[in-house]
Amino acid sequence: MNIKNIAIIAHVDHGKTTLVDAMLRQSGVFGDREELVERAMDSNDIEKERGITILSKNASLDFGGYKINIVDTPGHADFGGEVQRILKMVDSVLLLVDAFEGVMPQTKYVLKQALEHGLNPIVVVNKIDRPNSTPEEVVDLVFDLFVELGANDHQLEFPVIFASAKNGFAKYELADEDLNMQPLFETIVKHVKDPEGDPEAPVQMLVTNISPDNYLGKLATGRIHNGVLNKNQEVTLIKRDGELVNFKITRIFGAEGMNRIELDTAVCGDIVTVAGTEKFDIGETIADRANPMALPLIDIDEPTLAMTFMVSTSPFVGREGKFVTSRNIWDRLAKEVEHNVSMKIERTESADAFIVKGRGELQLSILIENMRREGFELQVAKPQVIMRDIDGVKSEPIELAIIDVADEFTGVVIEKLGIRKGEMINMVQGTDGYTRLEFKVPARGLIGFRNEFMTETRGTGILNHSFFDYEPYKGEVPTRQRGVLISIEKGTTTAYSLGNVQSRGTLFANPGLEVYEGMIIGEHSRENDLTVNVTRGKQLTNMRASGTDAVTKLAPGREFTLEQALEYIADDELVEITPQSIRMRKKFLTEGDRKRAARGTVR
């Protein structure tokens, strides 16, 4: 069997999933009567809503007698763990770069991973149909990036394809006619090396992904590195600690287009999914029973951000969710880390609080979003970066931030990031009235910055960032400059009381909202917190005023997404999450408890 295994890697929103769509359509995966689904590989509800890839997925297509296994990977830096393990399954990568945006932070990160794995990338310059795109300049930038990342001579001789995934064509040269994806298929067959491995050797398969199945139990997906795998074969699972678990392969599945098909036999080089035991874990080896030999374990970058998940202590707890206890929350988190290798969980001194460590705010917020959709109620604290001791020096994670902003806003952005200990390393002024700024910023400095950034640039700025490295601690970073408005009563907000309060700051609440004591209902215009009553109604009498009653004019309350709420809260505040609501609150709900906590007499 002629097999080509390839992953598609790129910065977020550069068109990976759209390119896979075009390849699947033109390879005949979708039949004549079958509906052509847009972004077919994004199967998760959140992926469809947000237009991003979160979980890596694989499909296959046939071209010229070759079976091409394609793995679509996430583009966001927070899901880098997915990319790292997928690279163990493939023999090359398609590096997708936007012909307009060029090289972005995640482009550097994923390419660095691919080069370190010894892979020889194929560069696809996508979106060449965009106005003001500069595909030839982008190729030069990509070459410079290869050199910067220490690519060897063979890797530097990368083939280049120009494409428009949206319009379904690829070509070798910009002057060629726009036809179809044939040049890309031909380049994959020509330049992706055949899988290494000996079909006569004892079987070895590295588990790179696991998924639950209601009928078959836990399924393991990975690539067969050596040997042949047969249904009902007796094999051994080599665990991370060296333990050997004997089991029988009950099912083998391969990919045919977008569908999973059952196989009786799978050969080395193919990517398959198997069932047979509940003890699968990512990075372990399925090996021959008589001669078990382990493959190298998958190394994943350590988490850089931690967040405390807690049992909800809200007065409204249990109204909307089904799962509210510490056991429910712990079991769900334990289930998550089984298949998410870049996330870790720890218990704390309190039985009702757990620390979840991940690669970024987005990764953690996606977990929370999935939990609330499943019926969980919980509360979480402000994200905290994970410090390290490197050679006796306290060090913190640094992010590489690339910002595209209108020329008129460059000064304020440089000033704001300077306050947050950002170091500008590059500045390029474009011809379209926009400037590109590159900064090295402590990860702490970017928490809560996006809201401020969008406000200062009037919603026109674009901010992308990814993990860069650990560097010595940069000192204190200023946090939110203003206090909050806190409800002093439990009840329902009224237009009358909100009208009296809105002069004190910006409201987050609208009339008719149920609130409780200690809940945050707005931002104060000054640095201190202020407790207010937003449930008081207007006193009515049977006497009419001599003039007409004044009509209360309210500005609409500012609404927060989950990510915005996590960025906004201070260290003494929490975000309460339920299936229907996102509320911000103080850790201590009563004013008396907050004063005692400030004096250090309440824990």
Instruction: Please report, in range form, the residues annotated as the binding site for GTP.
Output: 13-18, 126-129
Q: Give the tokens for residue 244.
A: 């050997």
Distance between CA atoms of 133 and 142, rounded to whole angstroms? 15
What is the C-alpha R_g of the chain?
27
The answer to whether residues 513 and 556 touch, using CB atoms and an 8 Å cutoff, is no
Which residue positions form the known binding site? 13-18, 126-129
Q: Give the tokens for residue 379.
A: 């509360």
Q: Rounded to 5 degrees, what angle do the CA atoms 519, 319, 496 make?
A: 45
Residues 331-336: contacts with CB within 8 Å, 24+ apart? 332/371, 332/374, 332/376, 333/309, 336/367
Distance between CA atoms of 295 and 196, rounded to whole angstroms? 14
Q: Give the tokens for residue 381.
A: 């604290």
User: What are the strands, taking DSSP E only, across 104-200?
Assistant: 122-126, 160-164, 169-171
Beta-bridge mates of residue 4? 68
The answer to whether residues 464 and 401 touch, using CB atoms and an 8 Å cutoff, is yes
Q: Give me the DSSP letters along 371-391.
A: HHHTTB-EEEEPPEE--EEET
Q: Give me the DSSP letters along 210-233.
A: EEEETTTEEEEEEEEEESEEETT-
Q: Which element (helix H / strand E) includes 315?
A: none
What is the SS3 assignment for 56? coil
Residues 6 or more apart whose Cβ sits within 8 Å of residue 595: none
Strands 423-429 and 484-487: unpaired
Q: How far is CA 374 from CA 320, 321, 332, 334, in A?
A: 11, 9, 10, 15
What is the SS3 assignment for 406? strand
Q: Give the tokens for residue 468.
A: 């860069």
Distance between CA atoms of 420 and 511, rounded to whole angstroms? 36
Compute φ and ψ for 83, nearest 5 degrees.
Answer: -65, -45
Q: Give me the DSSP letters along 500-520.
A: HHGGGEEE---TT-EE-TTBE
Comparing C-alpha atoms, which of 308, 436, 430, 379 is closest to residue 582?
Answer: 379
Distance between CA atoms of 273 and 296, rounded to whole angstroms? 19
